Amino acid sequence: MNLLFDYDYLQDRLLALLALPSPTGRAEPVLSHLETALRELGLEPQRTSKGVLTAAWPGEEDGIRRGLAAHVDTLGAMVKRIRPNGRLVLARLGGFDWSSVEGEGCQVFTQSGEAIRGSVLPVRASKHIYGPASEGEKGDEAMEVRLDERVSTAWDVRDLGIEVGDFVAFDPRPEVSPAGFVRSRYLDNKACVACLLAAIRAVQRAGLRPRQGVWLHFGEYEEVGHGGASGFPAGLEELVVLDIGPVGEGQNADEYRVVLCAKDSNGPYHPALTGRLRHLALSEGIPFCVDIYPFYGSDGGAYWHAGGDARIALIGPGVDATHHYERTHREALLATTRLIAAYVLS
């Protein structure tokens, strides 16, 4: 397949997505950005009542029988309680450890839309004051947000417009290295969204169309388990979920290939569809690997649990330190983009 894949476009899209906070349940800025990007690609995006962004990508054959899903929501938090001293206790959105965001900058979004800066810290942060007592387990009550505002009481905080239930986003801190690495929070799953946009662009610039019509699905509740439960059309036969491939000790994945997930905590993905994607990668010379993840779920599992009848497979770039300060490589992003394009044209 003689397609030209524009990595500069992919990287620019990725950095733009990372710059837009989208904790689960508050993904509107990213969804609006994606609406514009899809329209620039000649597609007509729509929203469901739940908030899923969808678009039909017409193919050579009539009907929509294939789907591509890439969630846009990320880990984050909500204000659980305002302490008498003006510090905030948080409730986590998604599965992460407090150690992964300890010391990180954050934004608290008020109901009026204002973003107020702060930092995530242990309650006993100062080693000079607490000594050994500053060490230990980091539970919800042991962590707090220190606002960058002159507050010393809960009423001071409320005067800023902050209240229980407000969303909190942690800083992504993206950085691109000369060696081709991209590190940032929330490569899960904005890396896959950028790969999908780059694949659509490459196919279109080659004057091609998908072999079959493709349903594009961008959900905002994957990190809490139900993003893929709705928003798909009837008659879907196949769904390829785009999500990151975790890299770590004992795993087969690395940061330089696209990962085909054969099984996660919900069980095996459809072996025939996974096998077809594997064959496509081999035939196109796309660097890939197959892996299994015991502590992992996706929008595909949510779709199946909701009664979806399509065959499902999952692919995505290898990403190190998932749900922490993540990192991937240009080669994995391009391999994922190439496999997406190969699939829709096959």
pLDDT for the residue 131: 84
Q: Which of 50, 55, 140 is nearest to 102 (CA)?
A: 140
> Which ranges constitute the DSSP H helices of 241-316?
271-284, 299-305
pLDDT for the residue 1: 64
pLDDT for the residue 75: 98
For 274, phi then psi, to 5°, come to -60, -40
pLDDT for the residue 40: 97
pLDDT for the residue 5: 97
Q: With beta carbons less than 8 A apart as the criterion, state whether 192 and 13 touch.
A: no
pLDDT for the residue 138: 78
Q: What is the pLDDT of residues 109-156, one digit of tens each?
A: 999 999 999 999 999 988 888 888 777 777 899 999 999 999 999 999
pLDDT for the residue 2: 80
Q: How many CA atoms lie within 13 A of 15 on its CB side?
A: 11
> What single string gives the DSSP state of each residue in 154-209?
HHHHHHTT--TT-EEEE----EE-TTSEEEETTHHHHHHHHHHHHHHHHHHHTT--
Question: Which residues are annotated as catalytic?
Answer: 222
* 56, burial (CB in 10 Å: exposed 0-12, middle 13-18, buried 19+): middle
pLDDT for the residue 68: 98
- Whose tokens are 């922490």? That residue is 324
Residues of the chain with pLDDT under 50: none
Domains of the chain: 7-74+186-345 (3.40.630.10), 76-170 (2.40.30.40)
